[in-house]
Amino acid sequence: MEPADEILEEEDAALEIPADPMRLNMGPSHPAMHGTIRMVLDLDGETVMNVDVQPGYLHRGFEKSCERGTWSQVFPYVDRLNYVSPMLNNVGFALAVEKLLDVKVPDRGQYYRVILGELARICDHFTCNGASAMELGAFTPFLWLLKVRDWIWDILEKETGARMTHSFGRIGGMAAPPTEGFKDDVRAIMPEVRKVVGEAEALLLKNRIFLDRMEGVGKLSKERALALGVTGPVLRSTGVAYDVRKDHPYLVYDRFDFDVPVGTDGDNWDRFMVRTEEIRQSLRIIEQALEQMPDEGPVSIDDPRIMLPEKREVYSTIEATIAHFKLVMEGLKAPKGAVYSFTEGGNGELGFYIVSDGSGTPYRVRVRPPCWFNLQAAREMIMGDMIADIIPTFGSVNMIGGECDR
């Protein structure tokens, strides 16, 4: 073959490769499309010209299933929404029903919810950051971060009896009071967690490959993010300091001193850094909550119409037996009406719009999944970038299939 520079200019046209856009299916079973998402891409070379994001492969009919049981029977389902931070979903749903009932959990229970919830949030962010790094080839940080998740899961297992799907929240409190030594257990891992965050940063933040693939990739503007309903770390990375814990404090979040980290560009790098910083802020919250949490007192409200009585009493007194029977068979009678209650989940504003018709069965349970709206914005992040950029972008959006598809 003749060298390229000897080819005459007139012949250039004949050598060009036809540039029709190519249609490519990515997912639903693709290693990087965790959570089974299908993306139909229109490619020009390696540039993504258009993309159709198709969720729904994990749809299990959550909202319909909620309409057939009692209010309490929804808890196992919400666990399986965002299965990376189930405790936050548990608490979010419990708060929604409590808003409908207009009751407030005792102080100790609120602190307990905050601490367990923040531990779950740390897990969530660690998993997201670790997985993002792993998909870019950095396997070690992933393992180091998941090591921390295991420590946290050990604590959650000790408290709730399950490592992942706890079903530990109750309407009006928690299933059980904190175990003895709960505070010491959490305090013991705090410095270790902080150390690992630093270690993971040291591994990644000066890595050329990691920087190249994160910085300036998958950008989202502030205005578009707001219009698209984006919340959580993805919104904060665009420079909007909206955190439900700060803007509409629930539980006892108004008693803690913590910052809301924000980014500037809304790219992958900002999303990564916002999550990393939020882990530190969560640790700060946990430290203060441990300090303030009373050692004595109930974690649940004392109302037999809402909370199940203790098992010991159910077996020994008729009142408790009746209360137990009524709650299990008829379910909690929530007053007629509709409320929208929202908390800061792992990925943003986790809202529950619940409608009650006064019977013991939920009439409608609508979850506002943060992932759903974040994923909707993923289209705009991906378009115009290279096909390889989809992987870090999709990773940093942190789409959780269970929550997105319900």
Q: 3-state class of 239 per DSSP?
A: coil
Instruction: Note whether 100 binds other proteins by CB under 8 A.
Output: yes
Instruction: Note whether 63 binds other proteins by CB under 8 A.
Output: yes
**Residue type at 289 in one-letter notation:** A
Q: In the complex with other proteins, which residue's Cβ is closer, 167 or 288?
A: 167
DSSP 106-121: -HHHHHHHHHHHHHHH
Instruction: Note whether 50 binds other proteins by CB under 8 A.
Output: no
| Cβ proximity of 28 and 56 under 8 Å | no
User: Which H or E element spans position 44?
Assistant: strand 38-44
Pattern 354-373, other proteins, x by CB under 8 A:
-x---xxx-xx-x-x---xx
Instruction: Note whether 330 binds other proteins by CB under 8 A.
Output: yes
Would you tell me how many other CB atoms lie within 10 Å of the CB of residue 252? 18
Count residues contacting other proteins (CB under 8 A)?
Answer: 49
Instruction: Note whether 68 binds other proteins by CB under 8 A.
Output: yes
Closest CA to 379 of 102, 14, 37: 37
Q: Which stretch binds other proteins (CB under 8 A): 128-136, 285-293, 299-307, 349-357?
A: 349-357
Cα–Cα distance between 317 and 42 in angstroms, integer? 68
Of 79, 267, 349, 403, which lies in the binding site for other proteins, with binding defined by CB under 8 A?
Answer: 349
| Cβ proximity of 266 and 273 under 8 Å | no
**Residue type at 260 in one-letter notation:** V
Please, which residues bridge with residue 366 across strands?
Answer: 353
Q: 3-state class of 198 per DSSP?
A: helix
Pattern 228-257, other proteins, x by CB under 8 A:
xxx---------x-x----xx---------
Cα–Cα distance between 285 and 301 in angstroms, integer? 24
Of 32, 162, 226, 260, which lies in the binding site for other proteins, with binding defined by CB under 8 A?
Answer: 226
Instruction: Note whether 331 binds other proteins by CB under 8 A.
Output: yes
Of 38, 40, 67, 107, which lies in the binding site for other proteins, with binding defined by CB under 8 A?
Answer: 67
Q: Provide the binding-site residues for other proteins, judged by CB under 8 A.
A: 54-56, 59, 61, 63-65, 67-70, 99-100, 102, 223-224, 226-230, 240, 242, 247-248, 329-331, 337-340, 349, 351, 353, 355, 359-361, 363-364, 366, 368, 372-373, 376, 405-406
